[in-house]
Amino acid sequence: MAEWINVAPASELQAGSRKVVFTEIGPIVVFNLADELYSIKDACTHDGAELASGVLDGDQIICPRHGSRFCIRTGKVQSPPAYEDVETFPTRIENETVQVNIDS
Ligand code: FES
């Protein structure tokens, strides 16, 4: 059964904002990119740095430690030194609450 984790009231995650939620599989960062929601694991695949505080350039998050880029829509790595994609998670709004699915 799919496990949906509550992240925040939808009203708190406005376009352009992000929020970290701590789950049993580790921290996940949820982005509201122009009213579309995307979630990725908050751990760079290069050396484990958190990604949530990175600069967002379009749909790419830039790792604050060494500068790797990841597409927040797909999790695909865009530039080294990381070479593995970051995990993504289905995200939705249910009953005015942002939720992320950690079972996929
Ligand atoms: S830890 Fe992210 S690029 Fe090195």
Kindly report, residue by residue over 2-23, the tens digit of the pLDDT: 689 999 999 999 999 999 999 9
Burial 6-26 (b: 16+ CB within 10 A, else e): ebeebeebeeeebbebebeee
Domain residue limits at 35:
4-101
With cut-offs at 50, 70 and 90, classify the pLDDT of residue 58. Answer: very high
With cut-offs at 50, 70 and 90, classify the pLDDT of residue 103. Answer: confident
User: Which one, of 76, 41, 70, lies nearest residue 58 by Cα?
Assistant: 70
Residue 104 has pLDDT above 70, yes or no: no
Q: Which residue, judged by its Cα, is nearest atom 3 of ligand 1?
A: 66
pLDDT of residue 40: 98
Which ligand 1 atom minimizes the distance to the CA of 47? 1
Kindly report, residue by residue over 84-95, the tens digit of the pLDDT: 999 999 999 999
Output the ligand 1 site: residues, CB below 6 A.
44, 46-47, 49, 63, 65-68, 81-82
CATH, residue 96: 2.102.10.10
Total domains, the chain: 1
Whether residue 63 contacts residue 69, with contact meaning beta carbons closer than 8 Å, is answered with yes
